[in-house]
């Protein structure tokens, strides 16, 4: 009876005791095992054992998420008992430790021989569990917030059973856009799933709505109170931005908000926006904790709390939860509970097709074919991921609870409710009154002017040779680039205080000062070049982009100017048509006029005379055939157009000076081994020889338009390469002596430079 006793013990695990359906099931199982002879008992035991199926679960039993998942899976086990298999649930505690979770997974797979595993909550746990299950291909239904794209290829049995949290970041960005906040501070947990999965998507989503992250703040899961306090104090004293997006685990978030309240950062003008898992657990927060979260605006995963199935589940869940965890004040199920329930149903449907003892790859394929509407929404896998969430709920913490303000639907916008006739808006302003931190009725600005804030140190090149763009005279900074920056800063809703500092060095060295933390930004005639991106980031160019070639010009010769109104091809074409027209007239008239007859030499001379004679005269009385007269009329009309065009072109050429380049092309410069000039910084020292193949010994550096002109006069250079903005200034000063030739080489133009520190 040892095997029978073991089976009963497996079925009667401590998590299934005390429910009426299982009491009857246990009673029937005992009767079945104890009735009949020994041989009959053995046969019956074997039959029951073959119908039994083990499902493993790895959860943090001390967390609210783990508690909800445990109760939901127990309820699901009862509901799916009649699917043709005796399901027994083996729940192992991860103890908030990645290695311990992996050891528990190994025990479930190797020792307990479960058919599937549900519930690793973090990506760090999921990756190790999936690696352990790689050989046996035991399906792993993960509840991690996100998974990298390569994970499905490495672990075919890994299934993402909860919607990817990256889509939620678009909802957060839509909230920021609604209130026209242009700067936010992101506070996140320093884990792989957040740092590499969710946060980059939040950054991209904010940039799409013309907002940017002024600072990323990362807290480790075990962050001390002192480190959190110092970071918040640093933000409060040095950052003007007051809009925070918080993506932390629940316990870490609670500590953060309690500390923020003590530091008076939950007051007027502050904005706090939370994501899952914080917002999805707001229904479980007790009064002592929620008092430090007043005014928080949260985005959470939506699931429909309606229908007979949910009402039944809600009642059974609440009853079991309050009995199992009597110290928990709130017993309402959240998104994690319904996702765990649906995960169990998914496995049960897969087992129903596969059979209790046929797991592995066959069970995995059947699970991937599952398609049903569960408590959390539609459950259907695509590329080993459950269908992405398209709807999110917006909640606002107030008093001892929270208000459900409305919803955000991907591609549609905000709405007050979810049904077929819902009206949508791109802004959430009309959804209803939001209770902000400090209880103000007006919308927070999202920023504050800090008298103690650090002033931005902005570097300005003092060595610029083009004073039209940058002019430095002591502490006075002027020029086009400076004015563009000042105007842009003044037009922004928020902008920190700043001060200009001159820098005497190359442009590459100036940009590198940002990387060395000597400057926070650079303003000036700085070209956007790829090699400089290793030190800093550039704004969009504020001038025309390109690199052009300037060469000396000379006036065109007037000795043969009478032939220049038309090209050589045009002259040849006119001559051919003229001769052809004379030939046609001669051919038609030669039978009617004796003068057109004679020797071949005579007829050729007459034909050529007719060609040019008809160019100026119709010779109507002398022509005997209507065909020749018609030909003459057409030709006279064409000749009139040609003459008028020629006259206009010749007049234009004689009255307007035409300049010709002394060197026709870049290829001519290379072939003649001529010397060329360059400016705007040391990047040209690499660009000209590496890209355009000029020899380094043939390159000369010049700082200003005047030095270029002097270099040309002294025959030190034959041509010069200038950026398009510089070329316009140079040609405006020396338009009679120089000319632009050749193609425009694409260079980034002028841009402002900023630090990469705030870019994730």
pLDDT in tens, 574-623: 888 877 777 777 777 766 666 666 666 776 777 777 666 665 554 544 66
Once rounded to an integer, what is the mean pLDDT over residues 10-31? 41
Provide the b/e sequence for 23-60 (b: ≥16 CB within 10 Å).
Answer: eebbeebeebbeeeeeeebeebbeebbeebbbbbbbbb
pLDDT band with cut points at 50, 70 and 90 for residue 752: very high
Q: What percentage of the chain reaches a pLDDT higher than 70?
A: 82
For 522, the enclosing helix (H) or strand (E) is strand 521-522
Q: What confidence tens digit (pLDDT) does each residue in 268-313 have?
A: 888 999 998 889 988 888 888 888 899 999 999 898 888 899 999 9
From 723, 721, 712, 656, select the one nearest 693 (Cα to Cα). 721
* Spatial separation of the C-alpha atoms in residues 589 and 593, rounded to whole Å: 6
Tell me which of 463 and 107 has the higher pLDDT. 107
For CA atoms 546, 547, 552, 553, give the dihedral sign: negative
Per-residue pLDDT, 624: 66
Residue 685's pLDDT is what?
A: 80
| H or E segment and range at residue 4 | helix 2-11
Q: What is the 3-state secondary structure (H, E, C) of 25-79?
A: HHHHHHHHHHCCCHHHHHHHHHHHHHHEEEEEEEECCCCHHHHHHHHHHHHHHHH
List beta partners, residue 393. Answer: 300, 407
Residue 608's pLDDT is 72
| Nearest CA-CA partner of 255 in 229, 217, 218 | 229
The region, left, alpha or beta by phi > 0 then psi within -120 to 50, assigned to residue 336 is alpha
Asked whether the predicted pLDDT for residue 680 surpasses 90, the reply is no
Residue 396 confidence (pLDDT)? 92
Q: What are residue 396's DSSP bridge partners?
A: 297, 403
For the entire predicted model, the pTM comes to 0.62
Mean pLDDT of all residues in 622-629: 69
pLDDT of residue 667: 86
Phi/psi of residue 204, each to 5°?
-65, -40
Angle between helices 64-79 and 335-354 (to 10 degrees): 40
* Predicted local distance difference test score (pLDDT) of residue 441: 65
Separation of alpha carbons 645 and 221, rounded Å: 82
Query: What are the φ/ψ torsions at residue 414 (nearest 5 degrees)?
Result: -90, 150
Confidence of residue 46 (pLDDT cuts 50, 70, 90): very low
437: tokens are 């931190």
For residue 57, what pLDDT band results from cuts at 50, 70 and 90? very high
Pair 428, 405: CB distance under 8 Å = yes
Q: Which of 71-85, 152-166, 317-331 has the least mean pLDDT?
A: 71-85
What pLDDT does residue 627 have? Answer: 75
Q: Can you tell me which residue has the tokens 């299950």?
A: 133
| 38-to-9, 34, 43, 47, 273 alpha-carbon distances in Å | 20, 9, 9, 14, 66
Q: Are 444 and 270 in contact (CB under 8 A)?
A: yes
**What digits encode the pLDDT tens for the residues 704-727?**
888 888 888 888 888 888 888 888
| Lowest mean pLDDT, pick from 39-53, 314-328, 548-562, 627-641 | 39-53
What's the rounded mean pLDDT across residues 135-151? Answer: 85
pLDDT tens digits, 146-198: 788 888 888 888 898 888 777 889 999 999 998 888 889 999 988 766 667 78
Answer whether residue 415 shows pLDDT above 50: yes
Q: What is the structure's pLDDT at 418? A: 86
Taking the C-alpha atoms of residue 757 and residue 516, their distance in angstroms, rounded to an integer, is 11
Of all residues in the chain, the percent with pLDDT exceeding 90 is: 19
pLDDT at position 356: 54
Residue 558 pLDDT class (50, 70, 90 cuts): low
**pLDDT higher than threshold 70 for residue 536:** yes
User: Residue 225 — very low, low, confident or very high, per pLDDT cuts 50/70/90?
Assistant: confident
Q: Which pLDDT score is estimated for 460?
A: 94
Instruction: List the end-to-end C-alpha distance of the chain, in Å, as a whole number.
Output: 62
Average pLDDT over residues 35-48: 47
Alpha helix (H) residue ranges in 276-332: 287-290, 308-324
């Amino acid at each position: 009876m040892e095997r029978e006793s073991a089976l009963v013990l497996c079925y009667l695990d401590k998590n299934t005791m005390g429910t009426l359906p299982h009491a009857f099931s246990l009673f029937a199982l005992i009767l079945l095992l104890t009735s009949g002879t020994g041989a009959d008992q053995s046969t019956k035991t074997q039959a029951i054992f073959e119908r039994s199926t083990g499902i493993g679960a790895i959860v943090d039993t001390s967390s609210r998420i783990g508690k909800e998942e445990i109760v939901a899976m127990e309820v699901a086990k009862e509901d799916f008992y009649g699917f043709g298999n005796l399901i027994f649930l083996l729940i192992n505690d991860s103890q908030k430790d990645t290695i311990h979770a992996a050891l528990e997974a190994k025990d479930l797979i190797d020792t307990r021989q479960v058919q599937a595993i549900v519930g690793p909550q973090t990506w760090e746990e999921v990756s190790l569990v999936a690696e352990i299950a790689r050989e046996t291909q035991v399906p792993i239904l993960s509840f991690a917030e996100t998974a990298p794209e390569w994970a499905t290829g490495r672990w075919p049995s890994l299934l993402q059973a909860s919607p990817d949290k990256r889509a939620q970041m678009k909802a957060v960005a839509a909230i920021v856009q609604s209130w026209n906040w242009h700067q936010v501070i992101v506070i996140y947990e320093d884990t792989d799933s957040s740092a590499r999965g969710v946060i980059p998507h939040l950054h991209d989503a904010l940039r799409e709505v013309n907002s940017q992250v002024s600072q990323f703040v990362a807290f480790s899961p075990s962050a001390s109170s002192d480190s959190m306090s110092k970071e918040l104090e640093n933000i409060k004293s040095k950052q003007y931005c007051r809009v925070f997006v918080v993506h932390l685990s629940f316990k870490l978030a609670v500590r953060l908000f309690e500390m923020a309240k003590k530091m008076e950062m939950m007051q007027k003008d502050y904005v706090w926006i939370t994501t899952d898992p914080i917002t999805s657990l707001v229904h479980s927060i007790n009064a002592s904790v929620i008092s430090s979260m007043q005014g928080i605006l949260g985005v959470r995963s939506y699931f429909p709390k309606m229908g007979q199935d949910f009402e039944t589940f809600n009642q059974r869940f609440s009853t079991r939860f309050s009995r199992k965890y009597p110290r928990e004040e709130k017993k309402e199920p959240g998104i994690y509970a319904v996702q765990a329930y649906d995960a169990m149903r998914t496995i049960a449907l897969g087992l129903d097709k596969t059979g209790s003892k046929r797991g592995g790859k066959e069970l995995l394929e059947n699970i991937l074919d599952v398609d049903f509407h569960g408590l959390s929404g539609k459950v259907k896998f695509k590329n080993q991921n459950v269908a992405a969430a398209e709807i999110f709920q917006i909640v606002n913490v107030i008093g001892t609870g929270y208000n459900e303000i409305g919803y955000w639907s991907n591609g549609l916008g905000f709405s007050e409710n979810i049904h077929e006739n819902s009206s949508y808006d791109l802004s959430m302003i009309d959804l209803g009154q939001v209770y902000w931190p400090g209880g103000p009725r007006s919308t927070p600005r999202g920023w504050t002017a800090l008298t103690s804030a650090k002033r931005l140190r902005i570097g300005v090149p003092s060595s610029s040779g083009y004073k039209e763009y940058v002019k430095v005279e002591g502490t006075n900074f002027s020029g086009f680039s400076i004015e563009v920056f000042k105007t842009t800063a003044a037009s922004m809703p928020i902008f920190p205080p700043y001060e200009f500092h001159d820098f005497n060095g190359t442009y590459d060295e100036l940009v590198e000062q940002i990387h060395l933390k000597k400057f926070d930004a650079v303003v000036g005639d700085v070209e956007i070049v790829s090699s400089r991106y290793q030190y800093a980031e550039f704004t969009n160019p504020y001038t025309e982009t390109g690199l052009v070639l300037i060469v000396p010009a000379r006036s065109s010769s007037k000795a043969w100017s009478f032939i220049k109104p038309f090209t050589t091809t045009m002259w040849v074409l006119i001559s051919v048509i003229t001769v052809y027209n004379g030939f046609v007239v001669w051919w038609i008239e030669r039978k009617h006029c004796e003068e057109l007859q004679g020797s071949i030499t005579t007829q050729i001379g007459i034909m050529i005379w007719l060609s040019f004679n008809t160019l100026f005269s119709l010779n109507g009385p002398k022509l005997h055939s209507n065909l020749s007269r018609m030909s003459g009329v057409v030709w006279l009309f064409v000749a009139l157009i040609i003459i008028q065009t020629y006259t206009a072109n010749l007049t234009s050429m004689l009255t307007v000076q035409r300049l010709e380049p002394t060197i026709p092309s870049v290829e001519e410069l290379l072939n003649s081994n001529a010397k060329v000039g360059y400016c705007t910084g040391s990047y040209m020292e690499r660009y000209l020889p590496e890209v355009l193949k000029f020899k380094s010994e043939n390159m000369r550096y010049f700082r200003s338009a005047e030095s270029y002109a002097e270099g040309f006069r002294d025959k030190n250079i034959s041509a010069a390469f200038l950026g398009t903005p510089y070329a316009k200034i140079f040609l405006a000063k020396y338009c009679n002596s120089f000319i632009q030739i050749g193609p425009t080489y694409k260079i980034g133009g002028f841009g402002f430079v900023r630090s990469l520190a705030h870019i994730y």
